A and B are shown apart, each in its own frame.
Chain A
Amino acid sequence: MNIWRLVRKEIGYRRLNFAQAMLGVLVATAGLVGPMTVLRAYSIRAENRLHTMEDDYRKQTLKYGFNVRVIPAGQDRGDFFEKGYATRTMDQAYAQKLADSKILTTIRHLTPTLRRKVLWTEHKRKVLLVGSHGETPLKERAHRKKAIIKIIPEGEIDLGYDLWSSLGLKAKQEVVFLGRKFTLRRCQPEQGSEDDISIWMDLQAAQELTGQVGKINEIQAVDCRCAMADAEKIRTELSEILPNTQVILKVKMAVARAKARLTAQQVRVAELKDKQALAAVTAAFLIVGAAVWISLLAFGNVRQRTMEIGILRAIGLSGRRILSVFLVRSLLIGLVGAVAGVVLGGCLGAGVAVAWGEVTEFSQVGALFSPLLFGLVVLCSPVLSAVVSWPPAILAARQDPAVVLSRE
């Protein structure tokens, strides 16, 4: 005979009391696990959507190329928009200073550029010369993004559609530009923009050809989605790093739409956090209710067993043993109730998630069950049950057998 057998037999004898207490634990744990499972489904779906939209937005942004243009502070915007480039210049070192900044978070793909409209004297054509030596790598960016423009090797040029098509030029052909020989690397497709009359070449060559050595008139960049960058944020950050510049943002409708969708999804994810908090508060109320319920039932159980406790004390069971009888019982209530609650709550939660369309494939159901949550619930419930049963158990252990047996 041992305590475990005594507890087991008592539970079998007073099934109703045990079942009522266990039901309390079951309701509390199912009340916690069920909503958490539904919210987990909601969360997984929302996160997936968010990632998809972030990716869409990134692609949209890259598709439309650079959307941030950093130009000299004193540049008149009217001239800038009329000519399509800044007439003022700034030091090429600005780009490096920006790339080396420890506080830069809002933009990436920094590309120092020199743009100038010049006369292609050999063909008597006005062209837009674009000099670039590719992206300046960011010093502080742990995961640098893949460059979105390719470096044009020294001695080579790319030509816009109007130029190569009207002059009958082909790739790999030798071209003379302002007295310097270049190899035509690529003939760009028609864009319907100033790109069609553009010549792209290495920055240094462009600087030398225009007499602007060490100068640029623009740093092209892309705003950084991961930092939730907006115009105000970008301007604030750049004014700290490069005070002698100003920022011009290009907004495309498709990008704006993608950004709106992304923002809406981010709001949805934020709302999810509110729902999780509400579920946690509800579960907390259920747990407190269950704790009170279990404690009352344990008091009832002790009261019902007064004489039994008296006789067990008389035949030699110590107060500590009596305490363990009641604590083992409450641990069992917590354990059995928690396991049943986790199974019931998990199944109900998954069912609701499927019914609400948060889960569309059977293979996704497994991801709804959080082993950490289930483990914590199954571990904490018996402990909580034992804690709330502690006062009645102490009462039982401290019962004076002489007083009990004198009532005979």
Chain B
Amino acid sequence: MTDAITPTKTLDVKGKICPYPDMDTMTTLKKMKKGEILEVLLDYPLSVERLPRSAKKWGHKVLSIEALEGPNHRILIEAFGLKD
């Protein structure tokens, strides 16, 4: 289902320690234009749950949270366009 969506940008934060997965994602989203889609690849369980909360709080839209192999996850977020 989410394969149909082509992300504008991909951010790989696998292996990063707390809270860099969230921080890197939020700063990247901040610079993206409205409607652009960010693909985040992460493996840190706390961030898999916290990142969608933070993204929503800043007005971004979480399109999907997909579990891959092991702790790996793929989250698609549509940017709100904070820079616009």
The answer to whether A and B assemble together is no
